[in-house]
Structure 1
């Protein structure tokens, strides 16, 4: 009897250990949750998450929607994400057509939600996407006047509190900073080719734009959404976030202002480093994975040649590859840049054929597990990018 009891005890302990191991493996990274007594902010992808944490400091709890190591072009929100957005004090998305799912998300928010929806790119002067680059973020952009997407269906939020201004009044966030957003194209409808079950109503639209859409979508009016990759435009994103934090949580305005000023100074320093380091280099041409460095190239006099289009899964044609090889040969390009969150197979194949090498140029659409573990942030990754640009352009 004692032997049976002993075996039973061992079996139960083993079962408990197994359950603990399974639980630990499945829950090693617990899902972010809303925190009482803090300003809960949900951000659509990594740069906005990093900026918000820097500006909000201890007063905010920031939940980033796109998981670590996931490329945001292929991501759509699930039920828990929708719940967090509707229950938070702020939801910050980029706009400029980057998040193909955001229009439906805003439209589907409950009418009793008090969330302030912030289009971070409001006021940024957008640049056109290169013709024929396979843009598939959404429909041609309309006026970028600071108005929130989905304002008509979600205008009831304007009556909740002064801090929760109506989506159609985003431009007012710049009044005390003397930033008046210019009317620029940026009202993108959701037509993302990778949209899945989280938005069934949007899936039919997305299906119509799969496959050949990557190469055929050259319609006039598409704008480049990768505004965060220039320190100058990144500062405008940070300013918009700060202004809305002040509106939502005026009691901590002084802290938000001080944190923003500190971060803005870091961005100014970063801009000066880029300007001084790149201006004297003999080469200005870069070959990149996808068309994400337009703002950086414009700011510092570079010419980017993308292998793909605006989305990193937009496969190039044979003609595209021939043009890239000719570009490499003509301009004496020494390196092809690849990204860490997408396959480097094509970049390395091209590099081998052209007898050049590869380097990382990070579009900072997300971070890897290792980068997160090591505490890497926007400033550090941008500095790493600069070091690799200097190496490639010497």
Structure 2
């Protein structure tokens, strides 16, 4: 029997939550926006997870996205950046609520006591990584496209990005955080950001089987999903030794100089890519990943909450690097962001340090309750 866990507040719910057999099934159902997360969606996911956490009937949770053609095909493109832009310019306080509640949801997923299985088919970026990286089983397909591309919009890899990127092998974390590189399935597995690859043709059958298979434990649900894994996954083609050497250097400026002085196509292409990103946020992100490497999840999320507050308030309104980055990509779509400063060499250490100065005392931090 399938029973809704969350009553939709509108004729077409953007999050469909139902219990199929003994599995709680979440479907992100905003395909026209590639399932970009709104505050209401964050709240609906959170409500379902809290209800199922304490429901003995529910053994495990799965999450997928709805594509424009039907189930799967897109997971989640991230947070609703157009909302970020509008809210920042209007002084809308729900922007603060969004990040506080989204990061709390990320923490809930990472610490969830039951198996939580993410079907990361199609685009999975930013906030989509936030609702999947804490999963006990992260499934990708040949259509999967994973990334934390925030430096392209004057932001940083949030939703716990500092935590999970800094845990990648060697200096892959710095490389992926600074460049925003898009990963396919085999690269995601190689980076430790996915666990198994599943053929897209088997997704619908697997999802349907969750409601009809007589599972007795959550672990049995996860084992069942693992039986769908492809056995042979091609290795990633990264120049790992070069990545580890260059992205271990002390600063963004030195990293870019080393790349520009390199002899490989990879080095030159990577340097050219970094020159297009927000110079300020490249410096901030390098500091973020390196700090996060020594932090637990809750501490990292509190740091990121401080940082995102600074993104919109150190230079408010149109002066915000993030507002400008979103304008260029998603509002005016001219792809010509006016970064300030406009060169990596012009970023001042004090401007970077300001992002890590918490605007709240510890007892009043909006994420003080995270354990």
Q: TM-score, normalised by structure 1?
A: 0.29
Structure ID, larger Rg: 1
